[in-house]
Amino acid sequence: MPYNSSITFAGSTLEVESLNAERVPSTIKQIVGGDIFLKNIPGRNQQDWKITINGTFFSSTRDADRDSLQTLRNNNTKSDLTDGLHNGSYYILSLRWPSDQNPTGAEHRFTMEIIQDT
């Protein structure tokens, strides 16, 4: 879905180019050895949001925001998303920084996949 807006994730403002959200069966999230595992629960009647976000940091705090997101991913820290539609607590499943897509030193592009923790 075209987005062209900003959202707040873990206190950082992210400029979003695209956001794709899908409802998936709710899981239990278990952190083992630095990795997050999603365990299915048969018969559970809930769903979580699984969201892929493509965006850019432009602000003067872009390096600090990048480090903050990477730390959240590395430590599997649950964080709040505020976008007005998918608000809630999420874990970062993957975070990619495509180096060939940073045409200037004034921005950082990223792709982040997150899963809701209900």
**Domain limits of the chain?**
2-116
Q: What percent of the chain lies above the pLDDT cut of 70? A: 89
Per-residue confidence (pLDDT) for residue 4, from 0 to 100 = 55
pLDDT band, residue 15 (cuts 50/70/90): confident
Contact partners, residue 25, CB within 8 Å, separation at least 6: 40, 41, 44, 46, 47, 48
Per-residue confidence (pLDDT) for residue 1, from 0 to 100 = 43
Per-residue confidence (pLDDT) for residue 6, from 0 to 100 = 86
39 or 3: which carries more pLDDT confidence? 39
pLDDT band, residue 104 (cuts 50/70/90): low
CATH class of 2-116: mainly beta
Residue whose token pair is 């430590």: 75
Per-residue confidence (pLDDT) for residue 93, from 0 to 100 = 95
**Average pLDDT over every residue of 12-19:** 88
**Average pLDDT over every residue of 37-41:** 91
Locate 22 and state its tokens.
Answer: 């899908």
Per-residue confidence (pLDDT) for residue 39, from 0 to 100 = 93
The torsion angle over the Cα atoms of residues 36, 37, 42 and 46, rounded to 10 degrees, is: 20
Looking at the predicted structure, is the pLDDT value of residue 3 above 60? no
